[in-house]
Amino acid sequence: MVVIMIIGKLNLILCTSSYNSNDYLLAAYLIKKSNQIESIKMVDILKDTKVSKSTLLRFLKKLGYKNYTDVQYLITKEKKHQEIFKERIIEKNLRDKLAKKQRLIVIGDSYSVSSLIVYKQKFYEIGIDLDIQLSLKSYGQMVVEKKFTGSDLIIVVSLYKSDLDLMAEFFSGYLELKHFIKEQKIDHLYVGKIATGNRNLDECYRIDDNINFSEAIYQLCSLFEKIYNFYAL
């Protein structure tokens, strides 16, 4: 028997209800307000959604509960469990980099980063701009075009070469870019193979050296699944 948690039930209602229905409206409202649900009273829901008390009670009954306080308690409890899970699925240094970011700019050779295109829509749906660059541009051109801010995280990917090889062969402006974003206090993350002796764990997410390209792609996609879950939960 599959037990569906309260937020899962709300998402299920979103997927199966008409966009203009009261069920859709109430489910969307509770999901949107889930992070501050402890402070939201039943009267607030009635005021914000403009539904009647009887409509709200029928909706709660459809969820399987008799009153709003039960739903309020369960949403609060579930969100706290999600926060604990979120803390565990991703390393602390990466969590710190991801916090409060609105745009992830991914640069690297096209073979390495093209596998991430499938994530663009997923990230868009949770309010994160996943900006994937399939062609390496000059440092100056990138700075002008992207207008980097503190809400950006720049992710440099290299699955074929180490970070030092990347600087020398693929992206001659990488050092300049690193210097610029450090000056502007913009976070960046290198994902890929790392040259011997160059293992700053605050800046790097290492892909194993002794694996083939398909396995490296799998590790890269696994990382982006973690990043997605960090923002989605």
Q: Is the pLDDT of residue 97 over 80?
A: yes
Cα(153)–Cα(205) distance, integer angstroms: 14
Q: Please state which of the ranges 63-72, 88-97, 121-130 shows the lowest mean pLDDT.
A: 88-97
Check: CB of residue 170 under 8 Å from CB of residue 192.
no
- Whether 81 shows a pLDDT value over 60: the answer reads yes
Q: List pLDDT tens digits, range 41-50.
A: 999 999 999 9
Work out the percent of the chain whose per-residue pLDDT is above 70: 79
Q: Which residue has the higher pLDDT, 208 or 164?
A: 208
Question: What is the C-alpha separation between 50 and 54, in angstroms, rounded?
Answer: 12
Looking at every residue in the chain, the average pLDDT score rounds to 79
The mean pLDDT value for 65-69 works out to 91
pLDDT at residue 57 is higher than 90: yes
Q: Tell me the pLDDT tens digit for each residue of 193-229.
A: 766 555 454 566 777 767 777 778 878 888 888 888 8
* Per-residue pLDDT, 201: 45
Asked if 133 and 146 count as a contact pair (C-beta separation under 8 A), the reply is no
Task: Spell out the domains of the chain, with CATH numbers in brackets.
Answer: 4-81 (1.10.10.10), 90-230 (3.40.50.10490)
> pLDDT-derived band of residue 185, with 50, 70 and 90 as boundaries?
confident
The pLDDT value recorded for residue 166 is: 58
Task: Kindly give the residue spans of alpha helices, DSSP state H, lying in 20-67.
Answer: 22-32, 42-49, 53-63
pLDDT of residue 181: 77
Give me the pLDDT at residue 206, please.
Answer: 73
* Residue 1 pLDDT grade (very low, low, confident, very high; cuts 50, 70, 90): very low
Percent of the chain with pLDDT over 90: 21
What confidence score (pLDDT) does residue 3 get?
38
Does residue 4 have a pLDDT over 80? no
Instruction: Give the whole-angstrom CA distance, residue 63 versus residue 57.
Output: 10
Q: Is pLDDT of 33 > 60?
A: yes
Residue 133: phi, psi to the nearest 5?
-100, 115
Q: Is the pLDDT at 113 greater than 60, yes or no?
A: yes
Average pLDDT over residues 1-5: 46
